[in-house]
Chain A
Amino acid sequence: MRRKPGALLPLEISILGAAMELAAGDSPEFHGYLLASALREREGARMLTAHGTLYKALDRMRKAGLLESRWEDPEAAAKDERPRRRLYRLTGAGERALAAVAATQMPAPAMIPGVAT
């Protein structure tokens, strides 16, 4: 079954919500593992989102303009002795998409924490 163009999947809505929460905290940019951890926390799940599910959704959302990404400075990664992170950031289009979902899912702002109402 194909989904309607522009319609967001539940996981994509959760990602936008988690990205908004992270941005409201001190992480306007986030990497895949951080996002998976944030999703687990906000969903109250026991396990992290599967790699394939998460990165496919991120790829799709980046192409749709809901998120933007950049590879971090190699020196920062080398300094911390870890692989380079791909850092994502919520775009204006992503914020608007989340606000639109929140508006159509009344009374459910509580389901999307971090959305200003």
Chain B
Amino acid sequence: MSAETWFASPAIPEREGLVAAAFARAWARTYTRGLAGEARVERLAELDSDLFEHERNGRRAGQSAVTLSFEILWRVVLGMPADVSWRLEAAQPGTALRTLAAAVSARSAATALWTVRRGMPGVTWVLAGGYVLVGIVLLLTLPLAGDKPPGERAWGGVMLLVAGLLIAGGFWLAKRRGKTAVALALAGSVPFGLAFSATIVVPAASVVALVCVVVKARSTTG
């Protein structure tokens, strides 16, 4: 019997899951990819159980889907650094990932400092700036839209512009109003991150931007 079969729970009926829970599972599948043995299956099964209990208890307590989604996303995003660190530790000796982990570990302090001070804010500004820039270009080129309905193009432009401003606003506010900043960053980064999930780059940049704002907000509020 395979590990996957052993952990499967066939008696569980199909349930309407939250998108946030699906995101949590997708993230877990991503960072556990290539993991040898039962470690991957066990981590996925354990997370699945946690998400199920979280959702079920929340619904029983009368929590709305929005509140539950926010809580789950919060837990996923804040746990990402630990997930990545756990994954690097779990990598098999001799693999590229383990070599990378060793290299990163050797320069961990400098790497972490650079990532927090330069890398993450850089990606956040590039993402926000990119959204704003593309939004402005879309709006300015409305008269040249040709046979496409301009309404669709205008909506896209406005949404990108707003998303960029929300992310930038979140980053700017992070040190003063942590919760507002995280809410703005979530609103700005998640929709397009999900909409362009196939591009890999946009969702990855969205996650980095979100983590960056959360880290900045937490470093201030403690």
Contacts and interface: CB of A to CB of B under 8 A. Distances in A.
A19 B94 CA distance: 37
B197 interface: no
B109 A1 contact: yes
B126 interface: no
Interface string A65-99: 00000010010011101111110000000000000
Contacts, number: 96
B78 A50 contact: yes
Interface residues of B, number: 36
Contacts of A53: 78-79, 82
A51 B49 contact: no
Nearest to A57: B82
Interface in B65-80: 71, 74-80
Interface in A29-79: 31-34, 36-37, 47-56, 59, 71, 74, 77-79
Given A50-B76, A77-B9, A81-B13, A56 B86 contact: yes
A84 B7 contact: yes
A55 B46 contact: yes
A74 B12 CA distance: 11
B49 A83 contact: yes
B85 interface: yes
Given A47-B71, A51-B79, A53-B78, A81 B49 contact: no
B162 interface: no
B4 interface: no
B42 A52 contact: no
A33 B57 contact: yes
Contacts of B46: 32, 55, 86
B54 interface: yes
Contacts of B196: none
Contact of A86 (B49, B75, B85): B49
A71 B43 CA distance: 12
B47 interface: yes
Contacts of A54: 79
Nearest to B10: A78
A44 to B, nearest CB: 14
B74 A82 contact: no
Nearest to A47: B74
B49 A33 contact: yes
Q: Which of B46, B47, B52, B85 has the most CB of A within 10 A?
A: B46
Given A51-B76, A52-B84, 11 more contacts: A32-B50, A48-B75, A52-B79, A53-B79, A56-B83, A59-B86, A71-B45, A78-B10, A84-B49, A86-B42, A86-B45
Top 7 A-B pairs ranked by shortest CB distance? Answer: A52-B79, A50-B79, A78-B11, A52-B82, A52-B83, A50-B78, A33-B53
Interface of B: 7, 9-13, 24, 28, 42-43, 45-50, 52-54, 56-57, 71, 74-86, 109
Interface of A: 1, 31-34, 36-37, 47-56, 59, 71, 74, 77-79, 81-86
